[in-house]
Structure 1
Amino acid sequence: MGEMRDRMEKELKLRGLSPRTRHCYLRAVHNFVRFYRRPAEQMGIPEARAYVLHLIEEKKLGRSSVIQTVCALRFFYCKVLQRSFSLDDLPYQKRKRHLPQTLSEKEVAALLEAEPNLKHRVILMTLYSGGLRLQEAIQLRPADIDSAGMRIRIRAGKGGKERFVMLSSALLDALRDYFREYRPEEWLFYGHTKAEPIHPRSVQRLIKQAASAAGIRSRVTPHMLRHSFATHLLDRGTNLRYIQELLGHRNIGTTMIYTHVSRRMLTEVVSPLDWLDTSAKSSRK
């Protein structure tokens, strides 16, 4: 893309988008250009719509990946080329509401007990104990662990939003063992060298292996630990507003999804059938 890439990167930086978002947007527009083998400025709405349909129908990309491409193309044409590009020209896919997949407390305990490697176990504990997203966990630095305040600073939150989550006393004990053995420097969980963070795929792989060792048949992902964190807090009576803050959700409506999988919410609400004074409630023989 050359000059257009430079222009787009400047616009992305001017608006304060995170390095990860900048990278994803630039890559999406690059793939768009490579698909047509024509300069992006020579194309417009028809090509963009056809490309997005190609991603959906041919590439079978998931909704989040498609939306990321739509956002990148909108940004490029509206902000970089300053063309008129309405929401109707390139709409978002309608969200399909899926209930979050979670683990039980016993399954989380089994997952942690099945992991013999200290570093890997501490990564799992960190993801679950604070409900962290994978990217948030791997971007942690040693200085983000505030043992005096018993909290963890999350710098790499979604949308560049910083927040704090609680520091579990059990996690703090494990972290102290981890610091003594691994001595992290720039990154809390470093990769092949101490100068780089652990790769997301490495974390995904270690979770898969730990789940297999624990005898958990369902597919376990880093985000499932985040879902489990929220659901377990709700099950134990934690205020939904607090959970929203801990998860870093802008809208409490996003957090409300966990009320659909909370056992406590289901068991505390009495069915109106049980209020009826009628013999019809008993089974007849």
Structure 2
Amino acid sequence: MKKLVLKNDWMGKSPIIRIEFLYEFELKELVKQFPGCNWDTKKKVWWVSYEDSKLSEMLQYFKGKVWLDYSELRKLELPKTFSELPVMADFLAIEISKFEDWLRNKRYSESTVKTYRDAVSIFLRFLENKPIEEIDNHDLERFNKEYILARGYSGSYQNQVVNGIKLFFKNRRGVKFNPEIVYRPKRQKILPNVLSKEEVKIILDSHQNLKHRAMLSLIYSCGLRRSELLNLKITDVDSKRRFLIIRQSKGKKDRLVPLSPKILELLRSYFKIFKPSVYLFEGHRSIGKYSEKSLESVLKQALVKSGIKKPVTLHWLRHSYATHLLERGTDLRYIQELLGHNSSKTTEIYTHVSIQNLGKIWSPFDDL
């Protein structure tokens, strides 16, 4: 019988269970379908989050299919920060549901609704279902210290969580947390990841499947976010004027992006073969829009075929689009409009990764 070897490991500060096995396509597909299973591109291993109940779940799932060797898997005495939080009380779940309705009525995006809902849920569960009227600033400070910081979560995550909690209490109970209680981390100045034009071409040309190639090509050629690509409808392509209409994207804004003759030709070829009904890119078995997970898989397959070892994400293609425009002399104000940025400061970050001017700088080392 085929064998899986389970071992302890860590993903940053989070404990995980490594799943090791001799590669077989069918076995890989079986492992991939286990709930919560992930592939680490750096360690080249499948893994799941460590929980005390995870082994019994895996034994049940793989029973009669493969043999699990867990002789090297140790039970961890996890700190309190990794302990399972209590189940949400019904009276608090009702409050969170009302908060979600309020956010949607205010036209917050679904991703923001989910982020804020999850933040409030974790906070209230961390406080062991403490009644809302008894919660104060000290509880928020303790949550930040013992949950967010103890788990090593990022500064951006901390800001999202705190914002969601503050908005919940302001809305549901008229309580406003003192923003000075929880010290906000300084915003990290992280440079965008950019691929060379040669690397982009290799990635885009790696797929023989016309739909897959068209999706990745459109993201790069128009600088699209993942959600923007997936929400595109057939009617959003203005082939006569050679424009793509991005509707109600981040910040609830519409914008126009020019379509190159090459991408239009590729889209026409794709359309003739796949004949989408409503969305420009639809799922294999339905007229619904293509899923985020499937799109991520398309990129992963392209990276494997291209041999590029960098941890490329879909957003790298958007960053590369902006940087390559800048290197060709496009004004930053136009790039800002094309990307849909509210502030020019957001767009200015691409000046730090453009090789147009940096490449001209003389190094004194050459004179040694």
- If the length of structure 1 is used for normalisation, what is the TM-score? 0.87
Question: Contact between 2:233 and 2:280, CA under 8 Å: does it hold in 1?
Answer: yes
More displaced 10-residue stretch of structure 1: 96-105 or 77-86: 77-86
Name the SS of the counterpart of 1:70 in structure 2: helix
More displaced 10-residue stretch of structure 1: 72-81 or 14-23: 14-23
Whole-angstrom distance in 1 between the partners of 2:131 and 2:243: 46
Does 1:86 find its partner at 2:86? no
Gaps of 5+ in 2: 1-91
> In the alignment, what sits opposite 1:220?
312
Does 1:107 find its partner at 2:199? yes
Within-5 A mapping of 1:1-285 = 1-39=92-130, 41=132, 42-267=134-359, 283=367
Whole-angstrom distance in 1 between the partners of 2:131 and 2:236: 41
Deviation at 1:255, TM superposition (A): 0.8
Note the alpha carbon deviations across 1:67-117, whole angstroms, 9 max, x for none: 221221111012222112232133432112121111100111111111111
Name the SS of the counterpart of 2:251 in structure 1: helix
Note the alpha carbon deviations across 1:110-144, whole angstroms, 9 max, x for none: 11111111111111011101111112111211111
Question: Contact between 2:166 and 2:176, CA under 8 Å: does it hold in 1?
Answer: no
Name the CA shift for 1:283/1:105 in 2 (closer, same or farther; >3 Å).
closer
Amino acid at match of 2:158: V
Deviation at 1:224, TM superposition (A): 0.4
Amino acid at match of 2:312: V
Whole-angstrom distance in 1 between the partners of 2:210 and 2:366: 55
Question: Contact between 1:103 and 1:224, CA under 8 Å: does it hold in 2?
Answer: yes
CA RMSD of aligned residues (A): 2.3
Deviation at 1:195, TM superposition (A): 4.0
Question: Contact between 2:137 and 2:178, CA under 8 Å: does it hold in 1?
Answer: no
Question: Contact between 1:139 and 1:156, CA under 8 Å: does it hold in 2?
Answer: no
Deviation at 1:283, TM superposition (A): 4.5
Deviation at 1:192, TM superposition (A): 4.8
Larger strand fraction of residues: 2
Runs of 4+ in structure 1 over 4 Å off:
281-284
Whole-angstrom distance in 2 between the partners of 1:249 and 1:258: 13
Gaps of 5+ in 1: 275-280
Name the SS of the counterpart of 1:165 in structure 2: strand
Note the alpha carbon deviations across 1:215-248, whole angstroms, 9 max, x for none: 2121110010011001000110000110011111
Greater relative contact order: 1 or 2 (C-alpha under 8 angstroms, separation 6 or more)?
A: 1
Name the CA shift for 1:32/1:186 in 2 (closer, same or farther; >3 Å).
farther
Deviation at 1:40, TM superposition (A): 5.9
Amino acid at match of 2:235: A
Larger helix fraction of residues: 1
Question: Contact between 1:185 and 1:194, CA under 8 Å: does it hold in 2?
Answer: no
Whole-angstrom distance in 2 between the partners of 1:59 and 1:135: 29
